[in-house]
Amino acid sequence: MVERTSKFLLIVAVSVCFMLILYQYVGPGLSLGSPSGRSYSEELDLFPTPDPHYVKKYYFPVRELERELAFDMKGEDVIVFLHIQKTGGTTFGRHLVQNVRLEVPCDCRPGQKKCTCYRPNRRETWLFSRFSTGWSCGLHADWTELTNCVPGVLDRRESTAAKTPR
């Protein structure tokens, strides 16, 4: 008799657990009603009304966001990649030197963090980033430091490249 009772309790417990799991997975999709009396779709307001006290701090006009800039890799243009910590900058910087399809791809040697990214027609770099030039302007240089540092570093690199025999 005890054995039958324990089997019955086990079956009841398993079925209750199954019903709870089923309700959690299937229940939210059904409109079974909610405690607040509103429908489920009303509770999931993805765009709630904005806080009237919120002041927009930064405003980017649409024309600025949609502007197109021409980049001439064979000319004198240089991309300066500003690396900002905790923003995915390392992943994006590595992607620039390893995965972008170029006429002359960057030369990335195994075991080295730096890659050589030359222009298609001469031995000058088109990318100024930590993965192509290293930390030439200091560790995590900000925009001001890069603005003051990049022209001098590029001039030095080009003058040493011109002095080396080919």
Distance CA 144, CA 160 (A): 25
Q: Which residues contact residue 109 at a Cβ distance below 8 angstroms, ignoring those fewer than 6 apart?
A: 115
At 65, list the tokens. 């966001």
The active-site residue, picked from 53, 83, 95, 140, is 140
The yes-or-no answer on residue 95 being catalytic is: no
Q: Which residue has the tokens 């995965």?
A: 99
Q: Which two tokens stand for residue 64?
A: 């600025």
Instruction: List active site positions.
Output: 140
